[in-house]
Amino acid sequence: MPMSTPLSKRIRNRRRYCLAMLASLVLSGCSLIPAYQRPALPVPVDQVSAVVAAANTSTVVVLSADEEALAGELSPKGELRGLLQSALAFNRDLRVAVLRVEEARAMRGITCADRFPTLAAGVERDRQHFDNAAADERYGQDISIASVGVSDFELDFFGRVRSLSEAARHDYLASTYGQQAARSALIAEVARAWLAERLAAAVQQDAQAVHEARLMLIKAG
């Protein structure tokens, strides 16, 4: 029986290690998990062209008095005001919030209309005539028919329709408050980012001035 030497043991260990690595690579290649594909971001392909196109349209975002005061206080030159208007015009979450307000307003109008009957009035006018000119002149006449109708509606004895109207009203108020909260959060985030960018630009400008001053001292010395 051949004796095992330290060299042969080392070779066998390396073989086992290589076989284990090869087996792990083969098993990892047999994974059933599909390859990850990053989804497309919900932003325009060319943001600059989108901004220019929006600027050429007639839609103008009007800032409130508080928003105008904030923009004027932080940026007297008007830079922040333009950024706020662009953010309000292009933010998708804010657009969804505005659409929810419109939907809730329409639903509230429908439920309020169901509480009361709808009156419908109409007038029809016709003329009875004859082929004979003499008979038509003698017996011809104008006939007018007026009609008034009431649409079907539910007598709200138990308050069901009124409860639906109140629920629609609360949904409308909630969506309105949500839209206002989303707008305020967006304004605050844009203002915070603009201030951070201004601060970083000021720090960089000061650092550049210090660097140039040091270079002048070195050259002078």
pLDDT level of residue 6 (50, 70, 90 thresholds): low
Which DSSP symbol is given to 129? Answer: -
pLDDT of residue 112: 56
Same domain for 190 and 148: no
Instruction: Please check whether residue 44 is in contact with residue 50, taking contact to mean a CB–CB distance below 8 angstroms.
Output: yes
Of the candidates 104, 220, 213, 75, the one whose C-alpha atom is nearest the C-alpha of residue 168 is: 104
Shared domain for 99 and 128, answered yes or no, is no
> 174 and 147 in one domain?
no
pLDDT tens, 150-193? Answer: 555 554 444 555 565 666 666 777 777 778 888 888 888 888 88
What is the Cβ-side half-sphere exposure of residue 128, based on CA atoms within 13 angstroms?
Answer: 8
- How many separate domains does the chain show? 2
Residue 104 placed within a domain: yes
Q: Which domain holds residue 84?
A: 61-115+159-214
pLDDT score, position 198: 87
- Regarding whether 205 and 167 lie in a shared domain, the answer is yes
pLDDT band at 214, cuts 50/70/90? Answer: confident
Q: Which of 127, 152, 177 is the last residue of a domain?
A: 152
Give 149: exposed, middle or buried? Use CB within 10 Å, 0-12, 13-18, 19+.
exposed
Same domain, 203 and 167: yes
Which tens digits make up the pLDDT trace of 71-121?
A: 888 888 888 888 888 888 887 777 777 777 777 777 766 555 555 555 556
Q: Tell me: do 124 and 210 sit in the same domain.
A: no
